């Protein structure tokens, strides 16, 4: 009887020791694992780079020194870390450094965290001509992609409007091109800029 009592006490002691060791080991593992970052696993294959679309550049034609507003929808499953805009001349030269596009809800951005990134910049120091924009986006797991020439705009002379009225109609032309006057009724006159040709055929004389 005495032996059974000692065996029972001994068994109880062993259980306590094992439980204590288990708790110590569990606590150690929790602290040890907490030192390491967690990782998300993405399957191989497919295009996991940030997507850039719905790009808007406005106005499409502006005076030198005016402001250009660029917006773009930029999406990625892991989230966007940053988005950058690079302006290039028609010959491919970079116009200054890259500019940060933001989705923070602060002007000129319209809505916070809606996936539409915005930048407004001044064109002082630029020359007349056509320009292109590249957008580079990086997601939160390091995937980076550049979309070249995804938008464009032109800088030129101020937009002017010429109007002339006949007996039954009024013709108004609003353009930044230098529109020639008509020397004869029903004749056609054309003017070409760097990016477009405008031809007008009318029986109305345009003013000088």
CATH number at residue 82: 2.60.40.2550
The whole-chain average pLDDT of the chain stands at 77
| Residue of 161 and 97 predicted with greater confidence | 97
Q: Is residue 175 part of a domain?
A: yes
Q: Is residue 21 part of a domain?
A: no
| Number of compact structural domains in the chain | 2
Q: Is residue 96 part of a domain?
A: yes
- Together in a domain, 109 and 182: no
For residue 112, what are its two tokens?
A: 């916070």
Q: Is residue 25 part of a domain?
A: no
Q: Is residue 23 part of a domain?
A: no
- Together in a domain, 167 and 139: no
Q: Which of 25-34, 81-90, 127-136, 168-177 has the lowest mean pLDDT?
A: 25-34
Range of the domain at 164: 160-202
pTM score, two decimals?
A: 0.58
Q: Is residue 33 part of a domain?
A: no
- Together in a domain, 83 and 111: yes
At residue 66, does pLDDT exceed 70? yes
At residue 182, does pLDDT exceed 50? no
- Exposed, middle or buried: residue 158 (CB in 10 Å: 0-12, 13-18, 19+)? exposed
- Together in a domain, 128 and 197: no
At residue 185, does pLDDT exceed 50? no
- Together in a domain, 124 and 198: no
At residue 204, does pLDDT exceed 50? no
- Exposed, middle or buried: residue 179 (CB in 10 Å: 0-12, 13-18, 19+)? middle
Q: CA nearest 54: which of 135, 126, 127, 131?
A: 135
The mean per-residue pLDDT over the stretch 102-116 comes to 97
Q: Which of 46-50, 87-91, 165-169, 178-182 has the lowest mean pLDDT?
A: 178-182
- Together in a domain, 121 and 182: no
- Together in a domain, 96 and 177: no
Q: Which of 27-41, 100-114, 141-155 has the lowest mean pLDDT?
A: 27-41
pLDDT the model gives residue 206:
43
Q: Is residue 41 part of a domain?
A: no
pLDDT the model gives residue 48:
86
Q: CA nearest 119: which of 159, 149, 83?
A: 83
Q: CA nearest 58: which of 154, 156, 148, 124?
A: 154
- Together in a domain, 80 and 141: yes
pLDDT grade, residue 142 (50/70/90)? very high
- Together in a domain, 169 and 150: no
Q: Is residue 102 part of a domain?
A: yes
The mean per-residue pLDDT over the stretch 188-198 comes to 57
pLDDT grade, residue 203 (50/70/90)? very low
- Together in a domain, 99 and 139: yes
- Together in a domain, 192 and 98: no
Q: E strands, 76-159, where? A: 80-89, 99-101, 116-122, 129-139, 144-156
- Together in a domain, 179 and 120: no
Most confident of 36-45, 86-95, 187-196: 86-95
């Amino acid at each position: 009887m005495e032996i059974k009592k000692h065996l029972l006490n001994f068994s109880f002691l062993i259980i306590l020791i094992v439980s204590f060791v288990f708790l110590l080991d569990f606590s150690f593992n929790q602290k040890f694992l907490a030192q390491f970052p967690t990782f998300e696993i993405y399957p191989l294959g497919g295009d996991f780079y940030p997507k850039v679309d719905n790009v808007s550049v406005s106005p499409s034609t502006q005076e030198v020194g005016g402001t250009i507003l660029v917006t773009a929808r930029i999406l990625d499953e892991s989230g966007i870390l940053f988005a950058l805009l690079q302006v290039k001349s028609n010959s491919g030269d970079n116009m200054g450094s890259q500019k940060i596009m933001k989705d923070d809800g602060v002007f000129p951005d319209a809505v916070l965290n809606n996936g539409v990134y915005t930048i407004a910049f001044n064109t002082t120091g630029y020359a007349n001509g056509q320009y292109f924009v590249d957008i580079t986006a990086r997601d939160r797991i390091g995937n980076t992609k550049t979309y070249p020439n995804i938008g464009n705009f032109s800088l030129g002379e101020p937009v002017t409007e010429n109007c002339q009225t006949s007996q039954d109609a009024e013709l108004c032309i609003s353009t930044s091109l230098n529109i020639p006057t008509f020397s004869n009724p029903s004749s056609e006159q054309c003017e070409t800029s760097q990016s477009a040709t405008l031809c007008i055929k009318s029986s109305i004389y345009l003013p000088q």
